[in-house]
Amino acid sequence: MRHIKQCSDRESEGYEMAKLVINEYQELGKINEEIYGHFAEHLGRCIYEGLYVGEDSPIPNTRGMRNDVVQALKEMKIPVLRWPGGCFADEYHWKDGIGPRENRKKMINTHWGGVVEDNSFGTHEFMELCEQLGCKTYINGNLGSGSVQEMSEWVEYLTFDGVSPMADLRAKNGHEAPWKVDYFGVGNENWGCGGNMTPEHYADEYRRYQTYVRNYHPENPIYKVCGGPNVDDYAWTKGVLETTHRNCLPALHGNMDGLSVHYYVHPEGWETKGSATEFDDAVWYRTLSKALYMEQLIERHGAIMDQYDPEKKIGMIVDEWGCWFTVEPGTNPGFLYQQNTMRDALVAGVTLNLFNKHCDRVKMANIAQMVNVLQAVILTEGEQMILTPTYHVFRMYRNHQNATLLQSHIQTREIGVEEIYPVPDLQESVSRDQEGNITITLNNLSFTEDREVEVIFAELEPEKIQGTILQGEAHAYNTFQEPERVQEEAFTSFTRKGTHITFTMPAHSVLQLRVS
């Protein structure tokens, strides 16, 4: 028989109301806005149809970028966008994507669907998109199949302000002024699709390539990201850092600013992955348990990083994360198109809370991917666009960006199905922005049970509380026929008395409270 399991010590205490204790005087660090970053690869319908439709499209656009998608992303307060990959990055040759579009080279996208890539979306288009979004730029360079010269010239083309062959070429192609590149990844997944390298070999290549990712503007230095491990490959983390630090005094000064980590949630395993919309309670808890595994990855990779970087100057960059399910029936298996339910919303909420609570090490994260691919925040079909439950979570959490993490602790009960993949029933993070507003984001992970919660501040007696909630049947998702089935709603079902706020949180829901 299946049942919801609770810890015996909780039962013996006989309490029903979970207590969330917040010490508003205990500041634990800054939550970088880049933790709420996104990823757009040349994969399926992410770039083409999703973000870029071309200037001649009947779909309303500004210089080829879909107006509806851009506006939705701005409303979500997107801070940074990673491009062009992913696996695509290490087969991408940037010069194929500049100049008149009719003259650009065509290629086969060998990683994703075997379709023709016409390179109509290239460097200029990406920088234009980021300007429209008002977000920072994160470019992934080609180390796997590209040369040092190719990468060096791309950086020069993008950022050099002066007389040089690449600056002149940029001007010839219609953009005289240089752009600002905020982040630059030196290769991607070089343990796999980026070259099948050993950690020591990649690290030596990283040291060589990054030398030529030059900072032409010392006042605006490029943040260099080294290719880190896949999931729990701790040997990769250690091997890369051991090699990059070898004979470097001071260690890695000016060499590495961030180390990436990739982790996807596959509830049914890598081979089968499982359906995005059809699951039972056992698979629900397995999925959330695997999402919570992110904390162990952060802590264990972080412990290795601490050996070489005890001052935490090198950021952990989780630049690919999210749910990866089996593609929707009838779609190209190489396009990785999947639906997005309340289960995805809980995975997003849990993961973002973990990033917040480890903001001393995690400095950027990029969910995969932005539109029409994997755990997308937006889905499109022709002129239509829908916002997924994951989109609403990112929008609800946006006030954490650049806020200060506050100390918090919540009492939880362990739940699950027949002791399989147990998870805590509640999970939270709390921050305060520069205006003094406190944001609480809270997840109820239970498949079936509502939960009473009491928020207790050290001394603050809230004068103003605003809340929003994302809730619905566990399998609920938005479609082009029902685009608003799952969306944020105002939450006012709370009471306050002195330093306490009490409310009941529905099963499988995400809640955000703004308190001042």
Q: 284 is written with which tokens?
A: 């629900």
Confidence at residue 248, expressed as pLDDT on a 0 to 100 scale: 66
pLDDT at residue 491 greater than cutoff 50: yes
pLDDT per position as a tens digit, 324-335:
999 999 999 999
Where do the structural domains in the chain lie, given as residue ranges? Answer: 8-27+406-515, 32-402
Q: How far is CA 332 from CA 319, 327, 328, 371, 459, in A?
A: 25, 8, 9, 16, 56
Confidence at residue 11, expressed as pLDDT on a 0 to 100 scale: 38
pLDDT at residue 4 greater than cutoff 70: no
pLDDT per position as a tens digit, 163-194:
999 999 999 999 999 999 999 999 999 999 99
pLDDT per position as a tens digit, 136-170:
999 999 999 999 999 999 999 999 999 999 999 99
pLDDT per position as a tens digit, 468-486:
999 999 999 999 999 999 9
Contact (CB, 8 A) for 450 and 42: no
Confidence at residue 6, expressed as pLDDT on a 0 to 100 scale: 38
CA atoms within 13 A on the CB side of 46: 32
Please confirm, yes or no, whether 27 is among the known catalytic residues: no
Looking at this protein, which amino acid is placed at residue 400?
A: H
**List 24, 189, 205, 488, catalytic entry:** 189
Contact (CB, 8 A) for 116 and 109: yes
Rounded to two decimals, the pTM is: 0.94
Confidence at residue 5, expressed as pLDDT on a 0 to 100 scale: 39
Mean pLDDT, the chain, whole residue set:
94
pLDDT per position as a tens digit, 442-478:
999 999 999 999 999 999 999 999 999 999 999 999 9
Stretch 190-208: mean pLDDT: 96
pLDDT per position as a tens digit, 241-278:
999 988 765 544 458 999 999 999 999 888 889 999 99
Q: Spell out the residues 6+ positions from residue 13 whose beta carbon is closer than 8 angstroms to its own.
A: none
Q: 286 is written with which tokens?
A: 């397995």
Confidence at residue 254, expressed as pLDDT on a 0 to 100 scale: 52
- What's the CA gap between 454 and 450, in Å, rounded? 13
Q: 457 is written with which tokens?
A: 């501040």
Confidence at residue 10, expressed as pLDDT on a 0 to 100 scale: 39
**CA atoms 10, 15, 17, 21: torsion sign:** negative
Contact (CB, 8 A) for 107 and 119: yes
Q: 125 is written with which tokens?
A: 């288009």
Confidence at residue 3, expressed as pLDDT on a 0 to 100 scale: 34
pLDDT per position as a tens digit, 420-433:
799 999 999 999 99
Burial class (CB in 10 A: 0-12, 13-18, 19+), 225: buried
Q: What percent of the chain has pLDDT over 70?
A: 96
Question: How many CB atoms within 10 Å of residue 454?
Answer: 16
pLDDT at residue 76 greater than cutoff 90: yes
Please confirm, yes or no, whether 452 is among the known catalytic residues: no
Confidence at residue 186, expressed as pLDDT on a 0 to 100 scale: 98
Stretch 106-117: mean pLDDT: 90
pLDDT at residue 130 greater than cutoff 50: yes
- What's the CA gap between 228 and 226, in Å, rounded? 6
**List 205, 320, 428, 488, catalytic entry:** 320
Q: How far is CA 466 from CA 186, 462, 489, 492, 494, in A?
A: 43, 11, 11, 7, 10
CATH architecture classification, 8-27+406-515: Sandwich (2.60)
Q: What percent of the chain has pLDDT over 90?
A: 91
CATH architecture classification, 32-402: Alpha-Beta Barrel (3.20)
pLDDT at residue 9 greater than cutoff 60: no
